[in-house]
Amino acid sequence: MPMVQGGHHVALVVEATFTANPSFGYSSGADERTQFTFSNAAIGTATDDRVVIVTIGVAAGTAAGVTFGAMTIGGVTATKHGSTADGHSGSAGVAVYSASVSSGTTATIVINFPAKNHSPGLAVYSTVGPISLHEAVKLDSHTSGSAALSFSPDVPAGGFVVEHSYSHASSTYTTTEVTEHYDRVIVSNRGDTAGSKHYTSSASPTITVDPSGSGATSGIVAVFAPA
């Protein structure tokens, strides 16, 4: 209910609270599938205005490149905010999704692909308070070499940035600007990294992610802001 001051209605603004709750991997080996299920993923405290953000990376199967399909989080259909896709077999792809999930402290996350892929890994974040996507910086990928990925998003005051990168030939990374939550081996030499940062004032940062190995690497940065 709005507050009343001097006869004027003043909207009560509640800034979104962001919680980093990442590191959830699926070590599938060479098991190529069109659907992967992540059970019992922690999604934070249940509230009526909770939004769950999921970032995910995957290695391409025999198909040419990675195309991301539908995702559900706790049975709720998620919105895909952006994704990368290299156009050849042996590549990697990453994507960002979110959904309003008001109940439960854990959730089953299901991701679908139109073609078979393998070795996915994801990170999960939860927010309290209404948010909206401000910007997604994507398609920052290379098919060989070890050059760092570089992102330059526009971040509004109160904005929350999530980053996810995945390499077909690297499992360790050096990340700048955002807080790196992990880098990990999913299977063999394939691995991913995830990071995030909450900005109290507007910024135009440069975020870099430098894989240690040489191979197909894709990354994405998404900026969410209080709605």
Measure CA 29 to chain center. Answer: 21
CA dihedral 172, 175, 181, 182 (to 10 degrees): 0
Is the pTM higher than 0.95? no
Is the Cβ–Cβ distance between 49 and 129 less than 8 Å? yes
Altogether, the residues listed in the chain come to a count of 227
Mean pLDDT of 191-206: 91
The mean per-residue pLDDT over the stretch 79-93 comes to 74
> Token pair of 40, please?
């019992």
What integer is the mean pLDDT of 196-214?
A: 89
Q: Up-side HSE of residue 107: CA atoms within 13 Å toward CB?
A: 31
User: End-to-end distance of the chain based on CA atoms, in angstroms?
Assistant: 17
Tokens linked to 92: 């990697």
The model's confidence at residue 65, banded by pLDDT at 50, 70 and 90, is confident
